[in-house]
Structure formats: C-alpha cells, structure tokens
Amino acid sequence: MTALGTTDDGFTLDGAPFRMISGALHYFRVHPEHWEDRMRKAKWMGLNTVDTYVPWNLHEPQRGVVRVDAELDLPRFVGLAQEHGLHVLLRPGPYICAEWEGGGLPSWLLAEPDVRLRSTDPRFLDAVESYFAQLWPSLLDTLASRGGPVLAVQVENEYGAHGDDAEYLRRLVDLLRGNGVDVPLFTCDQPGDLARGGLPDVLRTVTFGSRATEALAALREHQPTGPLMCSEFWNGWFDEWGGHHVTRPAADAAATLDEMLTAGASVNFYMFHGGTNFGFTNGANDKGTYRPTVTSYDYDSPLSEAGDPTPKYHAFREVIAKHAPVPPGEPPAAGPKLAVPEVLLTDSAPLLGSAGVLGAAEQDGHPFTMEELGRGTGFVLYETTVEHAGPALLDVTAFGDRVQVFLAGVPVGVLERERHEHVLALTVPHPGAALALLVENQGRVNYGPAVHDRKGITGPVLLDGVELGDWTSTALPLDDLADLRFTPTSGPPVGPAFHRGVVHVDTPADTFLSLDGWTKGNAWVNGFHLGRYWSRGPQRTLYVPAPVLRPGANEITVLELHSTRRPAVALRAEPDLGPTER
C-alpha cells in the first residue's frame, strides 16, 4: 500500500518527501487505444501523476444505469497509469466544469423544474448518492490504500466560484467516505474563491495560469501549513465558436512553471493533453451571451490534440528537469498521418424526412423540452400546422440553442441564442401549411449559474402574438444512424441532409477531416461521432483518431444543416484550428 501524507510545507509518499508533478489527461476525451501512448509521453515529460475528471453525464446517461465499461472503463485507465509508473488524482465531481456538456451534470436532473443543482436540495443529493453508490465499488481497488495508484480524490470542483454552502461540501465528503474513499481529499479554487470553496479539515489547492507567487501566497493565507499545490496550471486555453484559436507562448508558460516549482509547490498541468469533445459533448459559457465551445480540446497543451509533442512539451520537460528527475532516452516523435485529397459523398438522406427512423414522436398541446423527452443531446424537431396564410411574425420566446425554421418543407430562417434572437418575419404560403422548428442543443453551459440549461423549446411559440398548439415533438439524439435510407444524390438537397461516401485506406493513421465549403453540422467516420463543425470557425478540421479507421473501405457521414458548395471532403495530414487572432 502507498500512503500520501502532508507536512507543514509539502507532501510525503510512504514517509519520504514527495513533490507531485501531474498532468490532466481525460480518458473520455481520448480514444481508449491511445491511453497508453499518452501515458508514456506523460512519463517522459517528467510527470509522476496523471489527473482526470469523471463525467457523471457519460457514466449515467439515463437515471439509474451507471456504465464503467468500453470507452468509459475508468478502472482500466487508472490501472494503465499504474503500469506506467504514474500515480493518479481522481476528480469525480459530481460537478466538473471542464468545458464539458453541462459541467458533467446529467441532463435528466433538469427534468425537475425547480431543482437546485450543486446544493443540498434532496433531489440533487439523492441523485449524487445513488450515482456514487454505483460508481465507487468499481474504483475502490484503485485507491492507494488498497495498492492502487489513486493518491487523492477531489471534492466537487471550484465550488467557491459558485457558492459558499459548507454544508453541501460536507455532505459530499460524507458520501465519499461512506463509499469507502479513505485516501486524502482536496478542494480546488481560484485565489479569490479559496475562502468560500474549502473545508477546515480538507486540503485546499489553488488554480491559476500566471502570477504564481501571488496565487500561492493566497493559498498560504487560507492554509497556513501544508502543501502548496496548483491543482490546475492553465498552460493553455479553450476555443469558442466565432472566436479565435487561443495559444500561449511556450516560454511564457514555462517561466510560470519554473516560478511555482522554485517556490516548492506541486503542480497539475491543465491540460497535459486536452483531446477532443467527440460527439455532442462540448460545453458552453454564458456570462450574458451564450458561447458554445468548439469540438477540439487541443487547449494548446504540451501534447497536441493528436498526441504529438509540441514546443511546450519540450520546454516543460526542461523546467521539470531542474527540479526533479526525468526519464532518459530519445524524445517521443509525432505519429504518422494520413492524407486523402478528396472523398466524394455520393449518397444523401434528408434529416426532416428521416425523423421517424431517428426518434419517436410525442404529441401534446405544447412543445416538450429535450429533458421532458428524456434526451440529453442532439436535436428536437417540433412540428405543427398554421391555419392562416400570408405575412406573419413568428416569436420563439425561449429556446436552447439554435432554431431552424421551415414552412411547407422550405427553410425560411434561423434564430440563435447567442445572438439574442427570437423573432422571424415569414410568409405562410397557404392555410394548413406545415411549420417545423429544428432545435439544436449546441452544448449545455458548464460554468456559473446558467448550468440550469434546458434545451429545445422552453417557452411559448407565438404567431402574430397568438400561441401555437397541437405540437409533435421528436427527439433526434443521432446516436444510431443505421436505419437511415440513403439514395444517390441527384441535386442539392433542400434543408438539412446526411451525406455519405467511402474512402479506401491502406494503413490507418491519425488524420483530420476537412469540411471546406460546408456550413454547419456533424460528422461520423465508421459510425464514430467526431463532433461538430461550423464555418463560423475558428476550427476548420475535425480530428480522426487512427483506431476509428480500418484497412479497406471506410464510411464518412456528414450531417449538413444548411448547404455545401460541393458534397466532397478531404483528409488532411495537419490540423487547422483557425487563426490565433481575430
């Protein structure tokens, strides 16, 4: 058994002085076949520990059924870390932020109209208790107290930025201890939130990206003795649709790292390797204006989105080597990449016309929210009829997050939450015309009070001030496209459509799907959901992990919500994450 201890100014491991040099590596953002590669590279950079969040919404997508298998095999991930000589910091939430859909909180919590998330609301805590009771039995053997690599477990996540309810934090501590977690616990907060986010008998850690001396001094003010630990050293940052690709010079980040290591602190890089928000898993921010996060979570990390060492990787190793031993040997090289100049997508299938095979319709006098339909991500298609012909004003009073409007099957406009749009002028062609609203969940807010982020139509829909009724609501999670019926494309589809083509590969390798000329939508390779694309940028390619491909024929499917210049894509050897300045 291994025991993590503390002294007046640091950590001990089995009684010997120990400095934690850790890096965040999220198993859920990395293809499982790449886990070991990323761990080997963590070790060579000089890390002795890896850190991961645990996303509740992935492990319990439907209430009462907790998964810990396949791509969510957390015990396997932790075991691999131990095989590679790495300790583990585990951050199980229940809230994780992480620029992740809803901060990791399951969408089904929001089916309760007035539930108070991240609080002592019994409806929330009962759900946490049930989740922990199913999750922790599979993880107890990974704890250092039982011979595993997990040295410590985090309580909540930056709670001081959200509230100051010590009773809530205490209840979470009790739940962890009650489920057998007997290793040290810790909290993490930004310098200004340390007083609100901690407990007297739980180790406090601090999060920051710069001004290390000042941040560590704030930690020491609130925790006069014990280890100095930066539990999130923000060496890069994330990107938002419509923004630019955020980068940080390697020399600048390395200087901050040297500053904190010189001060005797332990560190956890956020991120060591960012990975990808595959599928519909990206989060969003809303500080008055809604801003969804892009698919790539490259984060300008030491390892790129494809796991290749960057200048920052080598700069950090040089700094670490000044303060701790690093492994000898040659540096890891970038992996092989695949390039195919053009892949024609020759077949197509309409989205609206395929709704019946993609989801089950429910009828009511009002539109159901996505949560009321029992779904968390994807789209909802709302349909009704309009009895009066002629010019009219459509008012979708509340929705999340983007509405495409169709009359008699023809696109007539778009409303966007981030642009604070609600009203659209249109002309109804004839009495009884079909009105369809396709609403996209672009990612639930992951930070701040707006995490109570319901999706779909969340308020009345008015036409010339009169509320429309008799709605059909169809959730379209797009988690299974097998029943789509494709036909050869004979012309530009009217409205959203799936496009499909085949690319032949001799030897699979990492590659990047280029969607130049496409507008907005999602892409899959061999049924694996790569994520979202949008011409708004900054991201212009989607990462395709090598294990997703196979020798021979590979199927590429693209859902285009608007239109494309030409139904063709390319596989590139280099990513394009967009310009670094606006």
Active site residues: 158, 232
- What element of type H or E holds 135? helix 122-135
Please state, in angstroms and as integers, the Cα–Cα distance from residue 132 to each residue in 54, 76, 127, 174, 446, following that order. 11, 18, 9, 11, 21
Report the C-alpha gap between 200 and 178 in whole angstroms: 19
**Using an 8 Å Cβ cutoff, are 294 and 538 in contact?**
yes
Q: Phi and psi dihedrals of 32, rounded to 5?
A: -55, -30
Comparing C-alpha atoms, which of 263, 269, 224, 233 is closest to residue 6?
224
Count Cβ neighbours within 10 Å for each residue of 558-582 and write b for 16 or more, e otherwise.
bbbbebbeebbbbbbeebbbbeeee
∠ Cα 534 539 544 (to 5°): 95
Report the C-alpha gap between 268 and 234 in whole angstroms: 9
- What element of type H or E holds 428? strand 423-428
Beta bridge partners of residue 380, listed in sequence order: 439, 475
Pairing of strands 185-189, 203-208: parallel
Q: How many CA atoms lie within 13 A of 403 on its CB side?
A: 29
∠ Cα 387 389 393 (to 5°): 95
Q: Cα 72 to the chain's mean position, in Å?
A: 14
The per-type count for the chain, helices as H runs and strands as E runs, is 10, 35
DSSP 495-523: SSEEEEEEEEESS--BEEEE-TT--EEEE
Please state, in angstroms and as integers, the Cα–Cα distance from residue 444 to each residue in 166, 191, 272, 279, 535, following that order. 26, 26, 24, 13, 21
Q: How many CB atoms lie within 10 A of CB 321?
A: 12
Report the C-alpha gap between 211 and 412 in whole angstroms: 51
Query: Exposure of 190 by Cβ count < 10 A (0-12 exposed, 13-18 middle, 19+ buried)?
Result: middle
Tokens coding 141 = 């053997």
